Amino acid sequence: MEDILLRSLSNVDLDWLLAQGVRSQLTANTELITPGQPQTHLYVLVEGQLAVQLAWADRQNAKGSDATDRLTAGEMAGISGLLGTEPLAHVSVLKGAQVLSIELAALHLKLQQDLDFAAHLYRCVAVVLSHRLRRLFEYQGSIRAMQPGQVRQVLSVFGELQDSDIDWLVSFGMVHELGPEQTLLRAGRPVDAFYIVLDGCLEITAPPTGITPIQLCFANLNLPPSQWIALTTISQGALPGIISFVDFSPLPVTIRTTTHCRLLAVPCDMLVTKLHVDRGFAARFYRIIAVQILELMQAIRDRLRDRHGIDAKAAAPPRAAIANFSTADTQAGPEGDTDQTLDLEALQTLSEGGAKFNWMLQQLGGGYG
């Protein structure tokens, strides 16, 4: 994993992190991230391992097999704080670890002032999260079934795009329509376009345990839809297949429509060229990619159950709203308040996101803003 960090950042970026960061040697069981507690730092793991454990799990087993993930050298902890969301997992030290701690306040200021740094760091974060999501898919046997009609609309992130960004997507994208029960993306296959769901619902499903994407691709395993494990359902504003777009690995899941769907498809080669020549667009694009991957991870974690069958969604702390690109911190609501009130900036981001998404629909001839 350390290669991701070193391949994503320039020498100038690394020098800034080293100058701003503080290196610390931490002992076993030191907790870096606690759900419900303010996050003030982003941590880069230099040596050792960190355990990631959902907030509802048995805290006595954080360093055992019950940990839902383990972070190795080169990975980052505190990404939720960087992206302005509430953490849903404890992150603690296994045995011993050396970390580089960077203050989020200084990091947010740097991201606003240096678009090259922002593009590099947000792409790095998106790739790291995509790898974690792939690892989370390995828990498909422990994920609770979805409730009927449960869908996710993710429009708030579009508030971070500029009008020129949306103009470019509309100009170079093509609208695709699919009927119900059709396959958009197959497990084991590459993703050759960047998709935005304009209308309709799609289901993300994983193959049964023990069947790998490579088998699905080359062994002619035509499994009926009833044998796939439903992980989550996505709707307007979602970006299906984004984990394969950022890390260029085959998709570990299959994405099928559940209703009639319209999608905007931008060819990957055109988008890659745009990301190379427009650093401001790249910074905004990779940030919304990172936010959507993190939201998808949290949606799946909400339905994970531990060995005692505890409902994660019922036991997890309330989630904070997505922060604006220029916002350094989000303010959480009162402790225990499940009807948490969004702050004004979060509401503005949500409103702007919906408005820009509807404007994009109108530009494409959708006509339903």
Domain boundaries, the chain: 2-140, 147-363
Residue ranges in the chain whose pLDDT is less than 70: 1-2, 55-67, 138-154, 220, 302-350, 366-369
User: What pLDDT sits at residue 63?
Assistant: 41
Superfamily of 147-363 according to CATH: Jelly Rolls (2.60.120.10)
User: What pLDDT sits at residue 56?
Assistant: 53
CB 294 within 8 A of CB 131: no
Q: Do domains 2-140 and 147-363 have the same CATH topology?
A: yes
Burial (CB < 10 A; 0-12, 13-18, 19+), residue 308, is: exposed
Report the DSSP beta bridge partners of residue 185.
255
For tokens 């828990």, the residue is 139
CB 84 within 8 A of CB 122: no
Please count the CA atoms within 13 angstroms of the CA of 111 that sit on its side-chain side. Answer: 26
Going by the DSSP 8-state scheme, the letter that residue 183 receives in this structure is E
**Of the candidates 75, 35, 77, the residue with the CA atom closest to the CA atom of residue 56:** 35
User: What pLDDT sits at residue 303?
Assistant: 63
Three-state secondary structure call for residue 255 = strand
User: What pLDDT sits at residue 149?
Assistant: 44
What is the CATH architecture assignment of 2-140? Sandwich (2.60)
